[in-house]
Structure 1
Amino acid sequence: MKTVVDNQQMKSPTPRVSRKKVQIKPAGIILHIVLFIGALLFAGPFIWMALSSLKSFEQIFAVPPVWIPDPFVWENFTNSLAAMPFGKAYFNSFYISAIVVFCQLLTCSMAAYAFAKIKFPGSNVLFIGFLATMMVPMQVTLIPLYIIMDAIGWVNTHLSIIVPNALFNAFGVFLLRQFIMGIPKEMEEAAVVDGANPLFIFFKVILPLIKPALSAFGIFSFIGIWNNFIQPLTFLSDQDLFTVPLMLSTFKGLYVTDWPLMMAGATISVVPILIVYIFAQRQIIEGIALTGVKG
């Protein structure tokens, strides 16, 4: 009997591992080619800026264009930092951006929680009014804002840049509201049963759950404030108060512009933004994706 069983086991075919052939679709190849060309087009100006920062004045305006610097003029970076007080400008941009981002995260999240979870008369009308402000260009409100800042004595101070941006951001309210609306109501009801008030629910229940959206909005806010040019140009006149974008504009003269130094300074100015994006791109994608799904 044992011999028969052994013979049957020897005759049984060995199981074959099914291998799925990877099918390469022509549509996918075309899509990747289009995306690659689009990425090159969008990255082209940045690549040209970075390469121009290592060229001499003659190489920048050479015909035909010189793509690879020969030789590399590394002195452009040290000369650009020494020509203008960029250290002070970097400090101004960093601390202004940090304060504005912190305040916007707090005020926008509180307003978003109110619009999403707290029912009060006129909430929908007020929220639509918030969204309507996104359609008004900043240039339209710049002159009235300047008159207000001048009346309270904030012109030529950093308060004229910090306070208006820190107190109001319609995009942030909209983004965070969409995320908060996706939080189950049962979590708030459980906290209310335990005796929690709305302030406790906001800080202990809501905020920990919206960290991805807060991270995404904080990064967008930092990039926007760091690159802000027209408000510092309008309100600031003392060079010690200049931010990095405004300091870069000083390289442009009435008749001559020192393009190598400007390109070097511009390349240095985008380093913080690149660092933020490289380390936080996961939070950006996750925050936007979850906001779109749960909204």
Structure 2
Amino acid sequence: MSSGEVIVSVKEMKKMRRGELALLILKYVFLVGGTIIFMLPLVWTLSGSLKPNGEIFTVPIQWIPETFRWENYSNMFSSFPMVRYALNSMIIVFFNIIFVLASSFVVAYGFARFKSPLNGPLFLIVLATMMIPEQVTLVPQFLLFSELGWVNTYLPLIIPSAFGVPFNIFLIRQFIKTLPKELDESAYMDGANSFQILIKIIAPLCLPIMVTIGIMTFNFHWNDFLGPLIYLSSPDNFPLQLGLYSLQGDREGLTDYGILFAASLTALLPPLLLFLFLQKHILAGIKIGGSLKG
């Protein structure tokens, strides 16, 4: 290679490095800018939780309170039974996670490992139910649960999860299909039955995707507002999100938004802490979900 060719190649490498550096800087500017935009509502809520009503909706926005009103966080416990509402939410979330994981896992295992002429059509029917908007089934479900006497109880918010969730069934089935069938065959040869294989072999290997589904289920039912609003009428049964709604007065002037914002931030803590403690499993489940093949 001549000296001229060496100089040209060095210049090209420098140009490539400059281009890669510029692209990297642009990427980080975009990510930081997007993060700031998405964090603004949370920062505004945090700021409003430390202000009196008169300072919250000022224009332009006053991001830093003149005087920090820390008593908003103590007053929220005396303004409404937040602990009771949080416990109600935990009851709903706990049983939904148990039922969703158990039912979806068993059904997905059947679709992934057992061969039958009806396996494919039944799986397509399960996927087809994902195309039905939730709003279409609200009235028939309410009439059904009303006839069963389940209105104003947690049963309409919990029992449907015992029949599996189509999207979760799809995710778990696709993951199980990536596991080598030789594991099942070896276990069969050692005398294990299908249930033992499911519990002792398949379940431990499915931990990342199961944790991810558990987190998604927690977030959905912890933040669910429409379901409790339809089926619950007694304040003693309200979950946290419906309890927060009860903090709003009939007129804007009757609502203490400082306490409402403080309670909203407090309600945000459980999902946030759950993500912080289980983020490794969640990221692993996302990577697995992105690599699944049909």
Q: If the length of structure 1 is used for normalisation, what is the TM-score?
A: 0.89
**In the alignment, what sits opposite 1:284?**
282
Match for 2:48 among 34, 43, 52? 52
The whole-number CA distance in structure 2 between the counterparts of 1:54 and 1:137 is 40
The whole-number CA distance in structure 2 between the counterparts of 1:38 and 1:140 is 35
CA drift at 1:197: 1.4
CA drift at 1:213: 0.6
Match of 1:146, SS state, is helix
**In the alignment, what sits opposite 1:91?**
87
* Count of paired positions: 276
Give RMSD over aligned pairs.
1.7
Which one has a bigger Cα radius of gyration?
A: 1
Match for 2:104 among 101, 104, 108? 108
Please show how residues 193-212 of structure 1 align to structure 2 within 5 Å.
193-212=189-208
When residues 28 and 161 of structure 1 are mapped into structure 2, their CA distance, relative to the original with a 3 A threshold, is same
Contact 2:107 2:164 in 1 (8 A): no
Contact 1:89 1:247 in 2 (8 A): yes
CA drift at 1:138: 1.7
Match of 1:228, SS state, is coil
Please show how residues 18-33 of structure 1 align to structure 2 within 5 Å.
23=17, 25-33=21-29
**In the alignment, what sits opposite 1:36?**
32
TM-superposition CA deviations, 1:84-103 (whole Å, max 9, x none): 11111011111211111011
The whole-number CA distance in structure 2 between the counterparts of 1:124 and 1:292 is 23
CA drift at 1:222: 0.6
**In the alignment, what sits opposite 2:78?**
82
Matched, 1:262 2:260: yes
The whole-number CA distance in structure 2 between the counterparts of 1:117 and 1:49 is 49
The whole-number CA distance in structure 2 between the counterparts of 1:59 and 1:77 is 17
Match for 1:293 among 288, 291, 294? 291
Structure 1: gaps (5+ residues):
1-20
CA drift at 1:253: 2.4
TM-superposition CA deviations, 1:228-275 (whole Å, max 9, x none): 110000000000000000000012222223321211110010000100
The whole-number CA distance in structure 1 between the counterparts of 2:59 and 2:176 is 56
Please show how residues 1-295 of structure 1 align to structure 2 within 5 Å.
23=17, 25-256=21-252, 257-295=255-293
Structure showing the higher helix proportion among its residues: 2
The whole-number CA distance in structure 2 between the counterparts of 1:168 and 1:149 is 18
Contact 1:101 1:166 in 2 (8 A): no
CA drift at 1:63: 2.2
